A and B are shown apart, each in its own frame.
Chain A
Amino acid sequence: MNEELKVTKIRNGTVIDHIRAGMAPMVLRILGVERGFPEVVVMAMNVRSQKIGFKDVVKLENQFIPDELVKKIAIVAPQATVDTIKDFKVAQKRAVELPSELFDIVRCPNRNCITNSAERVPSHFTVERRESVCLRCHYCEGLVEGESVENLL
């Protein structure tokens, strides 16, 4: 990791690395980081990376990310890694992975879909394509592709 990022090494918390360049703000949105968020948050954008060219990095102190949120991150940053830090050491390393099916993670954009009705059915998508993500609603069979997915998280 770069020299300047070492400065902000955290004792306990989470480091999300190898985020596709430019997507850190989206990751923060997924994590619920907004005005009033009580912990230390460090965000670096467009950092040179040997693995993916340029990347974004997010560090959160005293925050641990549940698997459900890791799946959401996988949609916007498919190559990201999520490291849990305990006492300055990496306690757990997770590579985000987009599962073949997403339950209750992405909202269906079709207003006439049963998942958007009074029925209160959790959304269910199958992943049709991982590279430039493409999802199909299990119920209404509608497709959601590319950047429009980000608005449905």
Chain B
Amino acid sequence: MLRWQGRDVISIRDFTREEIESVIAKAKKMCADHELLRGTVLASLFFEPSTRTQFSFNTAIQRLGGSVIGFAGSESSSIAKGETLRDTIKVVEKYADLIVIRHPLEGSARLAADVASIPVINAGDGANQHPTQTFTDLYTIEKFQKKIEGLSIGMLGDLKFGRTVHSLAMALTRFEHIKLRLISPPNLRMPVPILHELENVLTYSETEQLDLRGLDIVYVTRIQRERFADIEEYEKVRGTYVLDRKSCEQLKPTATILHPLPRVNEIAPEVDQLPQAKYFDQVQNGVPVRMALLTLLLRGE
């Protein structure tokens, strides 16, 4: 039996394939049920704002009959008065049944989980982890492809700073026969420590060419201007790694295009009409996945 009650969700590293699959299976069965977590209070501590993530947790708990306390932005909180994160957690846990935390420092969520006696979910700790996004990505992949193992998955764009692709790549090491194609400009390649973790566990290749042939999944990320010292270089790269109708002609009809959103111009609006475009479904899937995690942590099953 997997033990879920009272557990924390801090990093995708903490989860086995079996556990990931049980979250996916649970998410598939979730539907609005105002009795399931009735009376439960979720503390939503957003030390930096992230409206979508916060909305998605709020929606998830409210569809299960629970309610939310919390704040967004550190100005409004006791942090502005100089309270430590540890003290904030020790106080908040007296009011709530579960804590969702987003914080600009890496490792903050782990610290919160170490301090708290109630479950803590990491909704993003700096550049480190955002596990509920990864669970959502995996759920979406499974939903449209009916499986995860054996898939050919392309990751496109900023693979150096993109937290979502790091976590997703790590999660994919739990599944067998994955083929990963890492498509990025040379200065935004997947970091070497992560490549080391992929070695011998899955097959990966790196390329600068926008080659989408044969892929089951195309996971697109935003390339940010700040990553380039030279504006000309940025403009060149920005034009190269773009999904439009033409580049999408390479895609298999059964392929799935994903993007953690928000997008800027890396996916042309015309692509939204294609049957492969699933990034808005991906957003929607964040709700049942978070409902599943909340239920598992608070009910144990």
For A137, the closest partner residue in chain B by CB is B107
Residues in chain A within 8 A of chain B (CB atoms) = 110, 112-115, 117-121, 137-143
For A118, the closest partner residue in chain B by CB is B84
Choose among A112, A118, A120 the residue that contacts B106 (Cβ–Cβ < 8 A): A112
- A141 and B193 in contact, given A119-B84, A119-B85 (Cβ under 8 angstroms): no
Contacting pair B111 A139 (CB below 8 A): yes
Interface centre among B86, B126, B128, B193 (most CB of A within 10 A): B128
Residues in chain B within 8 A of chain A (CB atoms) = 11, 13, 84-86, 104-108, 110-111, 125-129, 193
State A110–B127 Cα separation when bound (angstroms).
Answer: 11
State A117–B193 Cα separation when bound (angstroms).
Answer: 24
Contacts of A138 in B (CB 8 A): 107, 110
Contacts of A137 in B (CB 8 A): 107
State A118–B126 Cα separation when bound (angstroms).
Answer: 16
Contacting pair B193 A119 (CB below 8 A): no
**Closest CB in chain A relative to B61 CB, distance in Å:** 26
Contacting pair A112 B86 (CB below 8 A): no
Contacting pair A112 B127 (CB below 8 A): yes
Contacting pair A112 B126 (CB below 8 A): yes
Kindly list the 5 A-B residue pairs having the minimum CB-CB distance in the complex, ordered from nearest. Answer: A139-B107, A140-B106, A114-B107, A140-B107, A114-B105
Contacts of B11 in A (CB 8 A): 141
**Closest CB in chain B relative to A105 CB, distance in Å:** 17
State A115–B84 Cα separation when bound (angstroms).
Answer: 12
- A115 and B107 in contact, given A140-B128, A141-B128 (Cβ under 8 angstroms): yes
Contacts of A140 in B (CB 8 A): 106-107, 125-126, 128
Contacts of B111 in A (CB 8 A): 114, 119, 121, 139
State A113–B125 Cα separation when bound (angstroms).
Answer: 9
Contacts of B126 in A (CB 8 A): 112, 140
